[in-house]
Amino acid sequence: FKNGGGAFIIPYFCTYFLIGTPLAFLEMSIGQFTSRGAAAAFKMSRMFKGLGWSTTINSFLCSIYYNVIIAWILFYFFASFRSKLQWSDCGNWWNTERCANPEILNFSNSTIFCNSIHYHINCTMPTLPPEEYFDNYVLRRSDSLDNFGLPNWSLSLCLSLAWILVGLCIIQGIKSSGKVVYFTALFPYVVIFALIIRGVTLPGARVGITFYLKPNWNKIRQFDVWMAAASQVTYSLGIAFGSIISYASFNKFKTNYFRMCMLVTACDCFTSIFAGCAIFSVLGYMSFKTGVPIEQVAKAGPGLAFIAYPQALSIMPGGPFWAVIFFFMLLTLGLDSQFGMVDVVIASLLDTFKQLRQHKLFVSISYCIFCYLLALPMCAPIIFFSSIIRFQTPTEGNYEYPVYANVLGWLMHGKQLTVFNMKQPDTEWGPAKNEKRYGRYKPKIEQSTSINQSNMNDDDNNSAFKLENMPHIQL
């Protein structure tokens, strides 16, 4: 909505089918042809080996902080099992003097005549109960970078539970996660459909949906809008995360992956728009109920899922019930995405260090524990505050160098890299199975099937996992 409302659909569709779909098709074809994970799939040329490890590192880094967000969701999910939601009003120990209910904030501009003189006037900006609940109770956010603080014990327990859930679902590789993902991918559609039916029956829903879809054509001419569309598309499809390659490696060798790719990308594209209607119909009801303009109700970023929408749920009839299914839906979506990222890293390790294949269970458990320890400091009060810090380009006094100067600087730092014999493919490049290696791909003396295929039968007709039955959705 902040990128032009309905007008954002145009750059969204353009980037989806001009950038997202071709890249998804490329990754799907590589994964199906090689029947390998991300790290081993890019052996067609030595210069491309880094692409496989780049996607693996990308999934590794994202899986660390992604489970922290799942921990937030679990925190809200357990807090929803109450007759009255904790973030519905002020008066709790985590609330401050600035806390004010939405009804108190509902006022209009008017002229006030007073026959006395005020020497001290306090114009402090009030805050809403869900905002203070998220900052002061869930995150326990500190007031400065100097106050690091200790990890929040309740949030740390939710983080440990999140990694336990992930570990249990991937403990047997694709045999276990492939079964769980049928539920985690299909259940959100049921919840979204139920939220839409409930949302459109509430007064003020039309205001929210109109605000969501009303086009602002001036935004289309801004480069940031197109960049935001491309960023959303690549993140939603999981481009450059390696998950598409890993999932496609379980397809039959002659599967029509073009049709599969078009089906998955189309479902993912329209699901995003469909889910937005469910969210903004409820936000429209909140605007109607409190009298606050919809522009002030809607928030971007994590504030939408953890501040604005929970506030709307708190004033809905049967709010705790809808809060439970809403956060359970977010939990399934988050776990669905996390399975793919964790599987990518584990498969890459087992493909590279083949001696670890006999200890796959130990590797999976060790990886989950290792990532939990790395993510534990993110439950400290300072981490969320410091995460807003962004990299700044070098400056000389008040002069900021242009983009091409920064690019040139990075290229100069990389001048030591020497390209030598990097266009030749690796000796193991090609289909993983010997019966599929013919022509230019010589059969391997010793079968080195990827760990992604270790739990599959040699017969292609016995596929343990079918990508076409699993729409991939990013949170």
Q: What is the pLDDT along the chain (475 residues), one digit of tens a residue?
A: 677 777 788 899 999 989 999 999 999 999 999 888 888 888 877 778 788 888 999 999 999 999 999 999 999 999 999 989 999 888 889 888 888 876 555 545 545 444 555 555 555 567 888 888 998 899 887 766 556 667 788 999 999 999 999 999 988 777 788 888 889 889 999 999 999 999 999 999 998 898 888 888 888 888 888 988 898 899 899 998 999 998 898 888 889 999 999 999 999 998 988 888 988 898 889 888 878 888 777 666 677 788 888 988 888 889 999 999 999 999 999 999 999 999 999 989 988 888 988 898 999 999 999 999 999 888 876 544 444 444 566 665 566 777 777 777 766 655 444 444 555 666 676 777 777 776 666 676 554 444 444 444 334 444 434 444 444 444 4
Residue tagged 């401050």 (tokens): 96
Whole-angstrom Cα distance, residue 53 to residue 385?
A: 30
Residue 125's pLDDT is: 65
Q: Where are the domains of the chain?
A: 5-94+126-138+148-387+402-469
Whole-angstrom Cα distance, residue 413 to residue 55?
A: 23
Q: Are 221 and 8 in contact (CB under 8 A)?
A: no
Residue 218 corresponds to which amino acid? Answer: N
Residue tagged 């609330």 (tokens): 95
Whole-angstrom Cα distance, residue 106 to residue 292?
A: 6
Q: Looking at the DSSP assignment, which residues form a beta bridge with residue 396? A: 399
Q: Are 337 and 475 in contact (CB under 8 A)?
A: yes
CA angle 205, 210, 216 (to 5 degrees): 155
Please give the C-alpha separations between residue 217 and each of 5, 9, 231, in angstroms, as whole numbers. 9, 11, 20
Instruction: Encode burial over 245-271: b for 16+ CB neighbours within 10 A, e otherwise.
Output: bbbbbbbeeebebeebbeebbebbbeb
Residue 31 corresponds to which amino acid? Answer: G
Q: Greatest CA span in the chain, whole angstroms?
A: 97
Residue 445's pLDDT is: 57
Residue 393's pLDDT is: 66
| The model's pTM | 0.78
